[in-house]
A and B are shown apart, each in its own frame.
Chain A
Amino acid sequence: MKRFFVISCVVAMLAGCGSAVPLNDVPVTDASAKSVSGTDAAGIGSTGVQAGGAAGSDLGAGGLASASAAQRTVYFDYDSYVIKPEFQSLIANHARFIKSQGARKVSIEGHTDESGGREYNLALGQKRADAVRSALSILGVSSSQMESVSFGKEKPAVQGSDEAAYAKNRRAEIRYQ
């Protein structure tokens, strides 16, 4: 009798197990996806939720919001979070521009090279983003306009496992929203 009971339990459990993990159909109710350019739109799950594409509005000539990646990127030395002198003017330009656009929000995205753990690199990338944020802050940019975040090693600018690639990936990007 007891054995029958055990078997019944096992059978009941097995019967339920086929549905333990649902399919790809993940309802996304709370993802506040926002992307900077249309190409980055994050389609999540098979439900095909698209992030809103918030392209920068036309600012005319010199609008840093639509600047090329080179004009928005600060590169760092190996294992370093110190902003090198050659990037001071880039940061000063952005500080001026952000201050002139009181409603404009910027995201400062820190990145690392591919060496090391994912979570630890996330924290290292955060240090780089924070370094740029505080440099902007010193130049008078309001902290309410800035958010510093990290992608760690998840979004390399360049593929490759040599120092040339690593140098291009150790960076912080200023992105306008």
Chain B
Amino acid sequence: MIKRLLVSIFAGILLTLCSSSWAQFRVEVAGVGMTQIPITIASFRGQEQVSQKISDIIQADLERSGQFRGVGAALRGLDELTRPDLSVMRQSGADALVSGSVTKLADGRIDVRFRLWDVVKEQDLGGQSFAVGSADLRLAAHRAADYVYEKLTGDKGVFSTRIAYVTKAGSRYQLWVADADGENPQSALSSAEPIISPAWSPDGNQLAYVSFESRKPVVYAHNISSGKRRLVANFKGSNSAPAWSPDGNSLAVTLSRDGGSQLFILSAAGGEPRRLMQSGGIDTEPVFSPDGKSIYFVSDRGGSPQIYKASISGAGAERVTFNGNYNISPAISPDGRWMAYISRVSGAFKLQVMELATGNVRSITDTTADESPSFAPNSKLVVYATQQQGRDALMTSTLDGKVKARLSGQSGDVREPDWSPFFKQ
């Protein structure tokens, strides 16, 4: 009984939080991809009675991925049980159809059901059902979008993953965790001092970050389900740039404790850091390759900041970037194929994507203040911070730069995005 009461109190707090949180983000798709699957998302039967328009959320998710194009004006009168007239659908230009329903259950939860149809092959591609509290309606829609995305592209969808980022409003800094479309932001930490460099652990349970609350940069790891956090690196001097190893057992960090900014490896459980390598200049921004065998990092050892790659033992450092004299903030896609980074080009800071096998580089934005790229866990999108019309913004982009969505803050600075891994199901 007490437990149930606690649960309902908690749910109440959550609801309050959700409704009071600023409607912080909006999806704006600009640009057109080459091959997009035309899809119709029928208006879910009964969705007017709940707080979220499920079909709109699914469609926005799919369009943001760059792989889908919504067609057919709000189609009504279908649900997951209806066998649609697929030949009519085909004439309207749709290759796929999603129909579904939203039903309030006696226990107060809401049952969201959907079915996916391959219009061309006239095939039922299955469906799912979720009974959720109203606070989780958006998540149910994201799960549905993930199902559709995976069935039709063969890749896992990332719509139910999350993005961590930092805002500065007045003199207040906050670390947030939002849904991958930017909605439903929840505060993980609030501080009067800067917070930078959030980094998800590979299991999605922890965020490492750098906080200046003790008047110096110190690395913490924050368990996002318990809210508890612990010190990871608080050595003499500056502690920064945390990056998790793919197995989650260790972190690479930049420490100045032995002079200069240098790379170290720490056990996630704590203990004495192991120096990775020695250079006369700056080494920072380490990231592990997805196989855990090498580390990419930024170094000015050649006179200007460039991205290098070394083995996990610290040996065999070789330069990876050769264009320009300022290349920083590497992120490696989880499939190991791509490196996103920031390059200074004629005074502008530009997001670049390099195909690692060939070294081919593409500049994928038309903005000039790009920062902090991070890959979606399916390696198909990248999130980054930038400025648009003088305002800070978080953007997602396909790797070819053709489809972008703005997850835009309404007030204050928004920065330092990091895309979560897939969560265990």
Contact = CB atoms under 8 A, between A and B. Distances in A.
Interface stretch (A23-31, A67-75, A90-98): A23-31
A30 B218 CA distance: 11
Interface string A29-51: 11111111000111111100001
Given A32-B234, A123-B284, A148-B237, A23 B13 contact: yes
A30 B211 CA distance: 13
Given A14-B139, A24-B190, A130-B259, A42 B214 contact: yes
B194 A154 contact: yes
A17 B416 contact: no
Interface in A1-30: 6-7, 9-11, 13-15, 17-30
Interface in A100-132: 107, 109, 116-120, 122-124, 126-127, 130
A149 interface: yes
A120 B259 CA distance: 16
A147 B216 contact: yes
Interface stretch (B41-49, B56-64, B125-133): B125-133
B240 A149 contact: no
B377 interface: no
Given A14-B139, A24-B187, A29-B228, A119 B197 contact: yes
A169 interface: no
A141 to B, nearest CB: 15
B214 A34 contact: yes
A24 B214 CA distance: 19
Interface in B222-252: 222, 224-231, 234, 236-238, 240-241
A166 interface: no
B425 A19 contact: no
Interface string A126-158: 110010000000000000000111111011000
Interface in B9-25: 10-11, 13-14, 17
B261 A30 contact: no
Interface residues of B, number: 74
A42 B213 contact: yes
A27 B128 CA distance: 38
A152 B240 CA distance: 11
B326 A116 contact: yes
Interface in B154-176: 162
B329 A22 contact: no
Contact of A26 (B11, B229, B326, B329): B229
Contacts of B129: 7, 10-11
A26 B177 CA distance: 14
B9 to A, nearest CB: 12
Contacts of B344: 116
Contacts of B177: 21
A34 B254 contact: no
Contact of A25 (B224, B227, B237): B227
Given A22-B188, A151-B194, A31 B217 contact: no
A14 B140 contact: yes
27 contacts: A9-B425, A10-B143, A14-B132, A17-B136, A20-B225, A21-B224, A22-B224, A24-B187, A25-B227, A29-B228, A35-B215, A42-B192, A44-B191, A45-B190, A51-B214, A109-B215, A117-B328, A118-B371, A119-B240, A119-B285, A122-B196, A123-B254, A127-B282, A147-B237, A151-B194, A152-B217, A155-B194
Given A15-B133, A30-B230, A117-B372, 12 more contacts: A6-B128, A14-B143, A21-B186, A22-B186, A22-B226, A33-B213, A116-B349, A118-B197, A122-B210, A122-B217, A122-B254, A154-B194
